[in-house]
Amino acid sequence: MSDSVRKLANLAARVAELESERELTLRLAQTDSLTGLVNRGPFTSALCERLEAARAEGGRVTLFIVDLDRFKALNDTLGHHAGDLFLAEVGERLRCDCAPGELVARLGGDEFALIGADVDVAKRAQRLVSLLAQPHTIYGRVVSPGASVGVAVFPDDAADAGDLQRFADMALYRVKMQGGRRWSAFDAELRAENLRRRTLEAELRRAIPAGEIEPWFQPVIDAADGRIVGAEVLARWRHPEQGLLAPAAFVPIAEELGLIGRIDEAVFEAGCARAATWVADGLIEKVSFNVSPRDLLDPAFSRKLIGRLGRTALPATALTIEITETFLLQDLALSRRHIERLNAKGVSVALDDFGTGYSNLRAIMNLPIQTVKLDRSLIGDVAKEPRVAKLVTSMLQAARALGVRIVAEGVEEEAQAIFLRAAGCDRMQGYFFARPMPAAAMDAELRAPRAVAPVTRETIGRRARS
Ligand code: C2E
Ligand code: CA
Ligand code: CA
């Protein structure tokens, strides 16, 4: 063999080596290392290819989305390694159960998917549920988290891969919410729900620039003298046909569509403009805004907010940002960065809805927050349930010791207000004092001449009735 031929042969061998290395890397990037199943990317491509083929041949494609039910509890009690072992077991079961032509994938977390052909939907879904309901032993412990399944069929339900996945997800969500049977298929009820959401989406996209989302204000009362000392800003949508809508009617869908940031911005801008004059006139000290956990996931959130605040007339020291404990705990490091950046500019941070989750008290108290808002679920029973009364009293003591201010939310009755004041709560908010109101009504409320007196049974009552 001549020298140049040998060189050429070596080169060819090296190229082949590199090629197979590249293939391996590519395959690894497309496979989930825990279960050996394909992951979301290649799964979506495969789904598109199958829809293409079904379209050409007039066939059907069925998509099953599978989500484990109590996986988080398993992870929390037995640890992440046990969780991983269980996910591998689920992957193995699904793979072994696949009929020829079916494809199974791990979409992420404890979510899996299976593409089937023209199958009996009820039978196949029920089989998946039974398969994953069988117990498994990890570290000598028998576990059986169980699973829920959502199904959608091409072309009966959806015309493309995006809709097919969304519809199977909607069916899955319904199973999760309703309990009972562990699987559900997309149907007329979900089709109507989907249409309702699409309409709402289009309307919301129009409503934000049209200025239909407005800030309302709920007074925050100083328990010592019954004066209004602040306000919480709450979003309302003045819908042209449906009238005034509360956040429950549009915040969840805005979060899902990624529109919540724009709503929060609009509410912030308009809310600051109104509140700035009340602060400048010495009528209130503080105004607080809610932000969505989705906004907070943006690492630049606090920097952007400070920039936005600079374009309003509101002093930073008059601003409080309310953050829910679920978010704080979700990402402690990011929360701390946001809070420290806001604090450095003089902006306060309040922990919202305290007492609703399974709080990691120590983790929360280590964060430099200024205020804790006691959730109304606690306040509701404070004057009736001695155990709740004790709990709230000790929370108030702890907060005082830590130098954190407490605002009691959802105060609806005089008895609650009196109890809270006696227990040392310094700020209150609730229907007993005032409901959320539009800016003009708040302005009138603040400018109305009113005798200021310490809160007694009588003055609290008078304040609430006037
Ligand atoms: P939240 O931050 O816990 O706000 C307090 C909610 O409790 C408000 O409901 C308020 O109207 C209501 N409330 C106040 N006092 C009482 C009372 O005495 N009894 C009862 N039963 N309810 C009382 P709203 O305005 O419907 O807002 C609901 C939630 O929507 C808020 O809960 C907040 O999480 C969210 N939200 C409101 N505005 C915005 C916003 O601009 N942006 C974002 N991201 N979320 C918002
Ligand atoms: Ca709030
Ligand atoms: Ca709250």
Q: How does DSSP assign 161-218, residue by residue?
A: HHHHHHHHHHHHHHHHHH-SSSEEE--HHHHHHHHHHHHHHHHHHHHTTTT-EEEEEE
Ligand 1: which atom is nearest the Cα of residue 216? 25
Q: Are strands 147-154 and 183-185 parallel, antiparallel or unpaired?
A: parallel
Residues with CB under 5 A from ligand 3 (ion): 352-353
Measure 78 CA to ligand 3 centroid, in angstroms: 33
Segments in 281-365 forming alpha helices (H): 293-296, 301-310, 325-330, 332-344, 361-365
pLDDT at 427 over 50: yes
The verdict on the CB of residue 352 being under 6 Å from ligand 1 is yes
Measure 290 CA to ligand 2 centroid, in angstroms: 5
Ramachandran class of 179: left when φ > 0, alpha when ψ lies in -120 to 50, beta otherwise: left
- Determine the average pLDDT of the residues in 176-205: 93
Mean pLDDT of the chain: 90
- For residue 454, the model assigns a pLDDT of 41
Closest listed residue to residue 220, CA positions, set 158, 287, 171, 162: 287
Q: Which ranges in the chain are annotated with CATH 3.30.70.270?
A: 31-186
Ligand 1: which atom is nearest the Cα of residue 412? 18
Contact 35, 91 (CB under 8 A): yes
Q: Which ligand has the nearest atom to the CA of 234?
A: 1
Minimum mean pLDDT range among 66-70, 158-162, 321-325: 321-325
- For residue 364, the model assigns a pLDDT of 74
- For residue 465, the model assigns a pLDDT of 46
- For residue 451, the model assigns a pLDDT of 40
Contacts (Cβ under 8 Å, ≥6 apart) of 137? 143
- Residue among 237, 290, 298 to mutate when testing ligand 1 (max atoms within 8 A of CB): 290
Grade residue 460 by pLDDT with cuts at 50, 70 and 90: low
Minimum mean pLDDT range among 327-341, 376-390, 398-412, 426-440: 327-341
- For residue 329, the model assigns a pLDDT of 74
pLDDT at 28 over 90: no
DSSP string, 81-100: HHHHHHHHHHHHHHHHHPPT
Measure 376 CA to ligand 3 centroid, in angstroms: 7
The verdict on the CB of residue 244 being under 6 Å from ligand 1 is no
Contact 180, 403 (CB under 8 A): no
Ligand 1: which atom is nearest the Cα of residue 247? 30
**What distance lies between CA 412 and its chain's CA centroid?**
27
Tens digit of each residue's pLDDT (9 = 90 or more) over 197-248: 899 999 999 999 999 999 999 999 999 888 999 999 999 999 999 999 999 9
- Residue among 237, 251, 381 to mutate when testing ligand 1 (max atoms within 8 A of CB): 251
Domain 197-465 has CATH 3.20.20.450: yes
- For residue 145, the model assigns a pLDDT of 84
Ligand 1 atom 19 nearest Cα: 410
DSSP letter (8 states) at residue 430: S
- For residue 157, the model assigns a pLDDT of 97
Percent of the chain with pLDDT over 90: 73
Measure 387 CA to ligand 3 centroid, in angstroms: 22
- For residue 363, the model assigns a pLDDT of 72
pLDDT at 168 over 60: yes
Grade residue 15 by pLDDT with cuts at 50, 70 and 90: low
pLDDT at 362 over 50: yes
Structure tokens at 151: 């199904």
Closest listed residue to residue 220, CA positions, set 94, 121, 352, 311: 352
Strand partners, 279: none
Q: Which ranges in the chain are annotated with CATH 3.20.20.450?
A: 197-465
- For residue 24, the model assigns a pLDDT of 61
Ligand 1 atom 30 nearest Cα: 247
Q: Torsion over CA of 160, 166, 169 and 170, rounded to 10 degrees?
A: -120
- Residue among 213, 217, 234 to mutate when testing ligand 1 (max atoms within 8 A of CB): 234
- For residue 309, the model assigns a pLDDT of 98
- For residue 304, the model assigns a pLDDT of 97
Ligand 1 atom 35 nearest Cα: 247
The verdict on the CB of residue 331 being under 6 Å from ligand 1 is no
Grade residue 18 by pLDDT with cuts at 50, 70 and 90: low
Angle in degrees, CA 235, 246, 302, rounded to 5:
30
Minimum mean pLDDT range among 30-34, 51-55, 98-102, 407-411: 30-34
- For residue 452, the model assigns a pLDDT of 41
The verdict on the CB of residue 260 being under 6 Å from ligand 1 is yes
Strand partners, 149: 66, 183
Percent of the chain with pLDDT over 70: 91
Asked if the bond preceding 145 is cis, omega within 30° of 0, the reply is no
Ligand 1 atom 2 nearest Cα: 290
Contacts (Cβ under 8 Å, ≥6 apart) of 212? 237, 238, 239, 240
Structure tokens at 201: 């989406």
H or E stretch including 4?
Answer: helix 3-30
- 360 vs 97 pLDDT, higher one: 97
pTM: 0.77
Structure tokens at 51: 């829809």
Grade residue 355 by pLDDT with cuts at 50, 70 and 90: confident
Ligand 1 atom 28 nearest Cα: 247
- For residue 1, the model assigns a pLDDT of 56
At residue 306, φ and ψ (nearest 5 deg) are -65, -40
H or E stretch including 8?
Answer: helix 3-30
- For residue 419, the model assigns a pLDDT of 95
Measure 324 CA to ligand 3 centroid, in angstroms: 8
Entry field: residues in the chain: 466
Measure 445 CA to ligand 1 centroid, in angstroms: 20
Rounded CA-CA distance 91/34 in Å is 9
pLDDT at 401 over 90: no
The correct CATH number of 31-186 out of 3.40.50.20, 3.30.70.270, 3.10.129.10, 3.30.1490.120 is 3.30.70.270
Minimum mean pLDDT range among 107-111, 143-147, 442-446, 456-460: 456-460
- For residue 144, the model assigns a pLDDT of 87
Minimum mean pLDDT range among 5-9, 38-42, 103-107, 415-419: 5-9
Rounded CA-CA distance 433/428 in Å is 8
Ligand 1: which atom is nearest the Cα of residue 432? 18
Ramachandran class of 180: left when φ > 0, alpha when ψ lies in -120 to 50, beta otherwise: left
- Determine the average pLDDT of the residues in 30-56: 94
Q: Which long-range contacts (CB under 8 A, 24 or more apart) does 340-346 make?
A: 340/368, 341/302, 341/303, 341/306, 342/302, 342/305, 342/306, 343/368, 343/370, 345/306, 345/309, 345/316, 346/315, 346/316, 346/317
Closest listed residue to residue 411, CA positions, set 447, 452, 460: 460
- Determine the average pLDDT of the residues in 327-332: 79
Residues with CB under 5 A from ligand 2 (ion): 290, 322, 352
- Work out the angle between the directed axes of helices 188-207 and 161-178 (0-180°, nearest 10): 110
pLDDT at 163 over 60: yes
Measure 137 CA to ligand 1 centroid, in angstroms: 45
